[in-house]
Amino acid sequence: MDVGNIIFLTLTGALVAASSSYVGSIMVLKRMSLVGDALSHVALPGMAIALAFGISPIVGAFVFLSLAVLGIWYLEKNSDTYPEALVGLFFTASLAIGVLITKEVDLLEALFGSIEKISFYEGLATIALSVSVIIVTSLFVKKLMITVISEELAQTSSERISTINLLYYILVAVIVSIGIRFVGTLLTGSLVIVPAVAAKNISKSMKGYFLMSAVFGIVSAVIGIPLSKGLWLPSGPVVVLVSVVIFIITFFYKKLFAR
């Protein structure tokens, strides 16, 4: 594998990680971390079906994830108690079905991702999508934060909060779909959550939190991807472990130095 390719993949990975962490940082504040994780499991049957029809697995994943986020959005909007257990059941069932219908040769790749398989054009599309997600999120991040602080304040601030939530969930579907190509369905949740919780450990302000969350995502990819190549290891798990190490460092930093 040549150096140019590794640099390109690292850049792509860094942007995916940055957009995932940015969107994920709001997910963590919304206390939806585990929903995000379970959500990624829904992608698997979608990918299997797409592969069977010879379509890009990212498209299959996105279609299934969009249906799933519409489901979450609908439940959240129309029931007083959020049926978390039901969501968990439905999503893990998807994983089980996905494992059964995915061909064995594709299974490992679908579960843990494979950055090497990304073509140049796929990489460019991924970069464009990541940048778009970052831009769209930043456009309405303030409104999202109001919903984090108090749904009631948001409801009476004349904002269309239900529309804002739906738009946000679609962004989540996009980042999970592109994240899957990198780290697979089992680990894409951590790409979304871990940099954000690490940033939360050390941030006092919203600006610092979003910034550090994206920075930690980028650092995980920039260290993790070349490192995995050097060690002949799959890149997804290495990137995730780098982010976990960052989390541990920030955790002890918080224990030792904060307040």
Residue 234 falls in which region: left (phi positive, over 0), alpha (psi -120 to 50) or beta: beta
Q: How many CB atoms lie within 10 A of CB 152?
A: 10
Among 83, 100, 208, 233, binds another protein (CB under 8 A): 208
Could you say whether residue 215 binds another protein (CB under 8 A)?
no
| C-beta closer to another protein: residue 96 or 149 | 149
Piece of 10-18, 46-54, 113-121, 207-215 that binds another protein (CB under 8 A): 207-215
Minimum CB–partner distance for residue 243 and another protein (Å):
18
Residues from 61 through 80 that contact another protein (CB under 8 A): none
Could you say whether residue 209 binds another protein (CB under 8 A)?
yes
Among 76, 200, 249, 251, binds another protein (CB under 8 A): 200
How far CA 22 is from CA of 97, 99, 107, 201, 208, in Å, comes to 31, 30, 29, 15, 12
Minimum CB–partner distance for residue 36 and another protein (Å):
18
Among 207, 231, 256, 257, binds another protein (CB under 8 A): 207
Could you say whether residue 150 binds another protein (CB under 8 A)?
yes
Minimum CB–partner distance for residue 208 and another protein (Å):
7
Could you say whether residue 157 binds another protein (CB under 8 A)?
yes
Could you say whether residue 162 binds another protein (CB under 8 A)?
no
Among 12, 102, 203, 243, binds another protein (CB under 8 A): 203
Residues in contact with another protein, total (CB under 8 A)?
Answer: 22
Residues 6+ apart with CB under 8 A from 155: 161
Binding mask 127-146 for another protein (x = CB under 8 A): ---------------xx-xx
Residues from 14 through 43 that contact another protein (CB under 8 A): 29
What is the contact surface with another protein in residues (CB under 8 A)?
29, 142-143, 145-146, 148-150, 152-153, 155-157, 199-200, 203-209
